[in-house]
């Protein structure tokens, strides 16, 4: 296949938006006589004026040659297919050797099948991810039509879509991920293949699927993504519990929480913790269950009953899901959700809780309360109150750690008259 070459006059890729260490890796590989290009999502994002998260490099150099070139700054990973990680401080630039083979099954039969740039790009999923960029002469190299598809805002597989989805069903999730993130149109042939192959999704690795879901929850485009997953019938294969709720009259509440989680992820320096993001899916369901089982019957549940209901909901969600959640993740979710009813009690009576605030997971619960306050501005007062309580506690412990008591200092005896019941943690 003849590549199309697009020169600097055809695009306006700005090298100041390319990681200088990635440019250095390419320069050193080329200086040593190898082919080396930026590849994949980094090139795509540069062309559509988005800041790339990663700068992956493909090269004709074999892993051992890359290791020899970069010495102690490079480690080789992987068994079936070896990759080179070139380290610059805490940063890692991933460098892969061009591969050959028509599909992933070839790799299972024979490891480390090296190839040409053209063979390598034919293994990739979508045309928009199949472009090379050579920073030495500012050229974009296109074997698959990705240049036109980016400019026409079209999503197309490289090769037959049914075959590509059968080879790796996770590509169906990735397809919807790109549609949610870039608002590109899926061509009819690919859309039909997705609907025909959707049942194959459960043949994939549960861990890989969960990682793709988490990445989208962190991306800032989760609301659009979950809408597309629902529409395509993929979400019910992964999270039937959530799908059932989203199909009902209150399904829009989950989208409200996802939208606010998206805003927090897009405009904050730090991505929300994954347990908080999962809680944004479950909290509206928990709220409706409490209303149905208690509030609609003029009953006020005890905090212990809320904790049991929370535990039951999370257990049902985890056991019915296709993917397996780590136990620690479930425990943290349970704390975040049940703590909301201590921070904003159903009785309306709020009490200071020093012990609760000192819990190492309290900050996560506080951040989720912030999200709730964005969904429902009436909760802003409660959020401000608990934020001040938390800040005061943090300052106290910081001062305490800076001035530890002398080892020789006698321990003061307990005096019942000194006890301040107002600030005791009352376990309800």
Active site residue 56: yes
Q: Give the number of other Cβ atoms within 10 Å of residue 15's Cβ.
A: 10
Which entry of 10, 54, 196, 425 is annotated as an active-site residue?
Answer: 54
**CA dist list (Å): 297 to 283, 292, 294, 301, 364:** 20, 8, 5, 11, 31
Kindly report each contact of residues 239-244 with a partner whose C-beta sits within 8 Å and lies 24 or more positions away, as own/partner: 239/281, 239/317, 239/320, 239/321, 239/322, 240/320, 240/321, 241/285, 241/316, 241/317, 241/320, 241/321, 242/281, 242/282, 242/285, 242/317
Which of these, 230, 204, 177, lies nearest to 324 by C-alpha position? 204
CA dihedral in degrees (282, 283, 289, 295; nearest 10)? 180
Q: Give the number of other Cβ atoms within 10 Å of residue 409's Cβ.
A: 8
Which of these, 228, 339, 226, lies nearest to 276 by C-alpha position? 339
Which entry of 56, 120, 142, 149 is annotated as an active-site residue?
Answer: 56
Which entry of 45, 120, 125, 149 is annotated as an active-site residue?
Answer: 125
Distance of CA 278 to the CA centre of its chain: 11
Active site residue 125: yes
Active site residues: 54, 56, 125
């Amino acid at each position: 296949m003849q590549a199309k070459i697009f020169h600097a006059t055809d695009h306006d890729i700005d090298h100041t938006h390319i990681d200088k260490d990635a440019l250095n890796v390419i320069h050193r590989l080329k200086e040593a006589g190898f082919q080396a290009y930026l590849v994949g999502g980094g090139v795509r994002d540069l062309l559509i004026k988005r800041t790339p998260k990663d700068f992956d490099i493909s090269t004709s150099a074999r892993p051992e040659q890359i290791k020899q070139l970069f010495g102690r700054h490079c480690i080789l990973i992987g068994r079936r297919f070896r990759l080179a990680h070139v380290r610059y401080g805490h940063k890692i630039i991933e460098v892969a050797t061009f591969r050959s083979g028509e599909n992933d099954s070839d790799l299972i039969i024979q490891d480390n099948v090296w190839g040409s740039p053209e063979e390598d790009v034919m293994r990739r999923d979508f045309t928009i991810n199949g472009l090379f960029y050579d920073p030495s002469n500012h050229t974009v190299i296109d074997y698959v039509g990705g240049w036109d598809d980016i400019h026409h805002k079209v999503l197309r597989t490289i090769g037959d879509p049914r075959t590509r989805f059968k080879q790796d069903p996770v590509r169906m999730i990735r397809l919807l991920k790109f549609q949610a993130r870039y608002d590109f149109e899926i061509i009819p042939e690919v859309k039909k293949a997705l609907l025909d192959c959707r049942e194959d999704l459960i043949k994939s690795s549960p861990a890989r699927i969960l990682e793709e879901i988490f990445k989208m929850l962190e991306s800032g485009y989760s609301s659009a993504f979950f809408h597309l997953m629902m529409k395509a019938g993929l979400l019910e294969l992964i999270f039937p519990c959530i799908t059932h709720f989203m199909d009902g009259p209150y399904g829009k509440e989950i989208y409200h929480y996802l939208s606010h989680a998206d805003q927090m992820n897009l405009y904050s320096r730090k991505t929300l913790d994954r347990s908080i993001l999962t809680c944004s899916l479950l909290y509206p369901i928990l709220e409706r269950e409490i209303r149905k089982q208690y509030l609609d019957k003029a009953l006020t549940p005890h905090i212990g009953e809320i904790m049991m209901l929370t535990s039951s909901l999370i257990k049902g969600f985890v056991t019915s899901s296709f993917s397996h959640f780590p136990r620690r993740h479930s425990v943290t979710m349970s704390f975040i959700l049940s703590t909301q009813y201590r921070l904003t009690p159903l009785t309306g009576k709020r009490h200071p809780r020093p012990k609760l605030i000192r819990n190492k997971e309290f900050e996560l619960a506080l951040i989720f309360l912030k999200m709730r306050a964005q969904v429902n501005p009436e909760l802003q007062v409660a959020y401000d109150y608990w934020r001040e309580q938390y800040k005061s506690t943090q300052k106290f412990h910081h001062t305490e750690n800076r001035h530890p008591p002398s080892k020789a200092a006698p321990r003061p005896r307990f005096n019942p008259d000194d006890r301040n019941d107002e600030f005791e943690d009352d376990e309800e």
